[in-house]
Structure 1
Amino acid sequence: MKTPVKDTGAMISGMHPDLQPGEFAFVVWPENKPWPEGTRASCVEAEGLSLVVPIAAAPQDAVAMRCITLQVHSSLEGVGLTAAVSSALAQAGIPANMVAGYHHDHVYVPSGCSQDALSILQDLQRSSK
Structure 2
Amino acid sequence: MEGERDLARLLAALDPRLHSERYSFSTSADARLGDGDFAIVREAEGLTAIRPDPSGEWARISLSVHSSLEAVGLTAALATRLADRGISANVVAALHHDHIFVPWDRREEAMEALRS
- TM-score (ref. length: structure 2): 0.92
Q: CA deviation at 1:37?
A: 2.3
- Contact 2:33 / 2:40 at 8 angstroms: preserved in 1? no
CA distance in structure 2 between the partners assigned to 1:116 and 1:38 by the alignment: 26
Equivalences, count: 116
Where has structure 1 moved over 2 Å in runs of 4 or more?
34-37
Of residues 97-106 and 47-56 in structure 1, the stretch that sits farther from structure 2 once superposed is: 47-56
Q: CA deviation at 1:86?
A: 0.6
Percent of counterpart pairs with the same letter? Answer: 36
Aligned pair partner of 2:106 in 89, 93, 113: 113
SS at match of 1:20: strand
Structure 1 unmatched ranges of 5 or more: 124-129
- TM-score (ref. length: structure 1): 0.84
Structure 2 unmatched ranges of 5 or more: none
- Contact 2:40 / 2:50 at 8 angstroms: preserved in 1? yes
- Contact 2:33 / 2:39 at 8 angstroms: preserved in 1? no
What's 1:47 paired with? 45
CA distance in structure 2 between the partners assigned to 1:21 and 1:29 by the alignment: 23
RMSD over aligned Cα atoms: 1.6
Structure with the greater alpha carbon radius of gyration: 1
Structure with the larger strand share: 2
Structure with the larger helix share: 1
Deviations 1:64-86 (A, max 9, x none): 11110011000111011100001
